[in-house]
Structure 1
Amino acid sequence: MNSMQTTALNSSAKHPFDKYELDENGYPLQEVVDIHRLDLRFQETRIERTKALARLTQSITEIGLRRPVQVADTGDTLILIDGYQRIRAFNALNRDCIPCDFCKAPLGAVLGEWFDQQHSRKLEAIEEAWLIDQLLHSGQNRRQIASDLGRSKSWISHRLALLDGLDTPYQDALRKGVLSSWAASRIFVPFARANRKDADQLLQSLLQSSFSTRELELWYSHYQKSHGEQRTHLLSHPRLFLDTLKLQQERREVKEPDPEQRWMRKMDGILRQLSGLEGQIEKVLNPLSPLDCDDAHFSEMEAKSREGERMLAAMACTIQAYLEL
């Protein structure tokens, strides 16, 4: 089996497909293909990443494509193996052709080699499950898929188990990137089994307003403890509930300190000031010769020091008395 090579496009080109660099024989250094000729059968096995797509599109606009897409040339068709995000970026830029690395081999062999190497972003577990499911629907069996991907049959089974309980609406939310794999398996699968109607209602809210995985976990924990009107409110206004909960938490964190805390903070400030004065006392006294000494001035300094000492001692005695009660 021929290995798939990755040749980066000249990154200095503003629009790399307007003019191709040629080798000494006059052939293009980089093979390109019309996007409409590509078989995008594995497109539904990849999660959409809106922010990453925006960054990639901007990068292609500025410096060109740094890594060509990988295509399996089976003789009958050109199947896109890796580069679905790059295809989306090129479509957004209205570009019809894209650089490709072709591998002329059976689809299973090309998939197996790419699956082991995965030069770009590694697939998430749920994406691997979608890939296996797609191959099963194309007529392959589990033994053949396991052999092509270099994995065991039990690994194949574990990946497919991720799809158990995830009906089409939930899988679509995963593909769109509005639902994480963790939230799908740990929250929505058990939620739908217990109460499909409520789970579907939460999913609709999720499609309208984004929730972090932590927010979903927090919401679900409160839902499980709720009943009656409280549960109805949670389902009707999940974002409002989470925002209110966050505001209450912030208020607790910035609440007014109690008298003991205020006293301790003030005392800390006083002690820091005393520490600073202690470090300065020698600098104040050392430069003075006996002839420069002002007895009245030194007497006042000593009196203030003793007054401070008396006050600290009195507070220490008061605190000690309370401790001995």
Structure 2
Amino acid sequence: MAAKTKRLGRGLGALISDESDDEFFGDEGAKQFREVEIHSIRPNPFQPREEYNTKLMEELKNSIAEKGVIQPITVREKDRGYELIAGERRLRAVRELGYDRIPAFIMEVETDDEMLELALIENIQREDLNPIDVARGYHRLIEELHLTQEQVAQKVGKERSTVTNFLRLLKLPPEIQESLRKAEISMGHARALLGVENAGRQLEIWEKTVQKKLSVRDVEAHVRKINQPPKRKVTISREKSPYIEAAEEKLREVLATKVKIYPQKKGGKIEIEYYSKEELERILEILQPPGNDY
């Protein structure tokens, strides 16, 4: 039976040098580093990663099949077995390859808060983690461990502004967050969309971005256009001269109805109001010179 067991063929000594091991762990390193049986490792209950890239997983499996596990996983001892702290992808890969053991660092982690913090930070610092999962990791550190944004930034080695920008992504509608997770849009697109406060408008621009494959600059231009205040119609107030006002008043008295005069550069126009056919005939009679029929 032992001959049929699949192991990480190159051995721990070939994968991790004694010098690097001692440098990392000191004199007690041998007690904290060993090959662990895969069936004894339980999943991390605080695992923040929600999605795995199939292509990257296949590449990892091919790499392990050829060279072994270069970077050990990290576990803690619990309930006569082990609980995974970090290394979910590596553990999945060796399981799918049929191995029965994997190199692991054994850490002393006493509380679930420590476990959560280690798991979140390890995942957040991975290059292939999508922006939304990074943002959710920061959010969990703040909400569940009661950390400030400044403390989160210090723990993950980032600027506070970087943490803030990631957290702002969680204000986007769920459809846009999912699109960012799937890499349909980039972080730049998402940040540009945050420039629009209305969620409906955000979705409109996002749909157009995905359909037409708009660049980040295109999205920024759309946002600027939406945020641009509407142009006010400029009405030029022209004060009427006393002569025009007197003429209006005289016509109103003569015609017994509303009259307005609109002077122009050359000439102008007179507006006479009437409210029935009979009133129109009355006005015409007033305007008609004596002896002329119309």
TM-score (norm 2): 0.46
**When you count strand as a share of all residues, which structure comes out higher?**
2
Ranked by relative contact order (alpha carbons within 8 Å, sequence separation 6 or more), the top structure is 1
Larger radius of gyration: 2
TM-score (norm 1): 0.43
